[in-house]
């Protein structure tokens, strides 16, 4: 009897490309004929240094940022950058503007305020972060070092369709954890981009930071060690033991992305998958979207069941047919469909079919 196929809609750690998982399984005991595992490899070995350099080059090429940018790898996740960005870029008397569009920016504001008082220049918390504040009405601060935003809100399911323009000579700082490499974006206005790996890049435990050269030169020189961007850049992210396995895995994910046709092609696929889901939601009164139509995320499709007592039944029956981890975030409830790069079209097709049948029955 054939094994039932499982489609994992976990918001993170999220589904990984099956082809990459199988390749890792094949190589795990003996990497490249060396006779030992990647898990045992020195982070300073020539073999791993090549992996880390390949990974940086591929990432920048995919983002169209190949010249004038630096890639840093840190242990941990994106939450660590909430503090580290401010620590490196805000010294005495400096401030920054924050666009509060979800719980992750809210936490970033709290961390930044431990370094220097920052300003919330726009917020959507008045409606539970269900929309992105209009950018044309935002008054940015002339003295702000940077403008901070989170490109995709995983909790409620909103996403920036366009980004603000820098004002007064500052630059953008973006948390791209949940939608990096998922769509084509012009990122030239961003001085700093960071992303936890566990959505579209690889397994949890790694955060990637990309800095534009002019911004790197603005980093504080009176700090050093693991929290210093300057130190980590000078040490090629090898100041301490790097997360070797996660970087190796990410390098394979970037190879897989190339095989899918790169960001241009995966962007079309992600848009197609999201459109299918939103069409089903809009065509059935049982499903109530939680994000404003104009700001709906391609990565995290969120909705509630009009009859709340049916939510647990929806999750349970979905699991029975191999559609797992669909329960919404605890702050919002309902259902959350995470549609990251590794989710195949067949998974979305099966979910849409299930949703239609569930609506007809209930």
Can you tell me the distance from the alpha carbon of 278 to that of 291, in angstroms, rounded to the nearest whole number? 11
Instruction: Please indicate whether residue 175 is annotated as part of the active site.
Output: yes
Q: What is the DSSP letter of 75?
A: E
Q: Do residues 62 and 68 touch, judged by C-beta distance below 8 A?
A: no
Nearest CA among 341, 311, 340 for reference residue 326: 311
Residue 199 known to be catalytic: yes
- Outline where 90-142 has alpha helix (H): 103-112
Radius of gyration in angstroms for the set of CA atoms belonging to the chain, rounded to a whole number: 21
Calpha distance 13→197 (Å, rounded): 9
* Interacting residues of 23 by C-beta distance below 8 A, sequence separation 6+: 252
Q: What are 276-279's contacts with CB under 8 Å, separation 24+?
A: 276/348, 276/349, 276/352, 277/301, 277/337, 277/339, 277/348, 277/351, 277/352
**Active-site entry in 97, 104, 218, 304:** 104
CA distance 349 to 5: 13
Catalytic residue among 175, 179, 218, 273: 175
Catalytic, out of 56, 58, 199, 218: 199
Helix-, strand-, coil-residue percentages of the chain, each rounded to 5:
40, 20, 45
Place of tokens 């919330």: 120
Among 6, 32, 10, which Cα is nearest to 251's? Answer: 32
- Rounded to 5°, angle at Cα 267 from 266 and 272: 95
Tokens of 295: 């700001």
Residues annotated as catalytic (active site), given as ranges: 104, 175, 199
């Amino acid at each position: 009897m054939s094994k039932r196929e499982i489609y994992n809609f976990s918001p993170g750690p999220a589904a990984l490309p099956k082809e990459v998982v199988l390749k890792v399984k094949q190589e795990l005991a003996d990497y490249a004929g060396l006779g030992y595992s990647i898990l045992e490899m020195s982070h300073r070995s020539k073999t791993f240094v090549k992996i880390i350099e390949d990974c940086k080059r591929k990432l920048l090429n995919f983002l169209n940022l190949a010249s004038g940018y630096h890639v840093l790898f840190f242990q941990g996740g994106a939450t660590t950058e909430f503090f580290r960005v401010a620590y490196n870029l805000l010294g005495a008397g400096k401030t920054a503007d924050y666009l509060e569009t979800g719980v992750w920016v809210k936490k970033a504001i709290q961390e930044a305020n431990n370094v220097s008082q920052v300003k919330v220049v726009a917020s959507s918390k008045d409606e539970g972060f269900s929309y992105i504040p209009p950018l044309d009405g935002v008054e940015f601060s002339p003295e702000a070092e940077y403008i901070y935003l989170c490109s995709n809100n995983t909790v409620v399911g909103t996403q920036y369709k366009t980004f603000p323009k820098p004002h007064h000579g500052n630059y953008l700082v973006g948390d791209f954890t949940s939608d990096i490499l998922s769509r084509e974006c012009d990122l030239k206005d961003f001085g700093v981009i960071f992303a936890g790996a566990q959505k579209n890049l690889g397994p949890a435990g790694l955060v990637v930071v990309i800095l534009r050269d002019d911004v790197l030169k603005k980093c504080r020189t009176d700090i050093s060690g693991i929290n210093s961007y300057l130190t980590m850049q000078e040490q090629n992210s090898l100041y301490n033991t790097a997360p070797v396995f996660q970087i190796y895995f990410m390098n394979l994910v970037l190879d897989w992305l190339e095989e899918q046709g790169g960001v241009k092609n995966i962007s079309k696929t992600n848009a197609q998958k999201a459109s299918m889901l939103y069409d089903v939601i809009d065509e059935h009164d049982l499903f109530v979207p939680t994000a404003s139509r104009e700001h709906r995320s391609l990565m995290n499709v969120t909705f509630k069941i009009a009859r709340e007592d049916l939510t647990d039944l929806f999750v349970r029956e979905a699991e029975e047919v191999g559609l797992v981890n669909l329960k919404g975030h605890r702050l919002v409830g309902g259902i959350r469909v995470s549609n990251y790069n590794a989710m195949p079209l067949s998974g979305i097709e099966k979910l849409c079919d299930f949703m239609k049948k569930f609506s007809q029955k209930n």
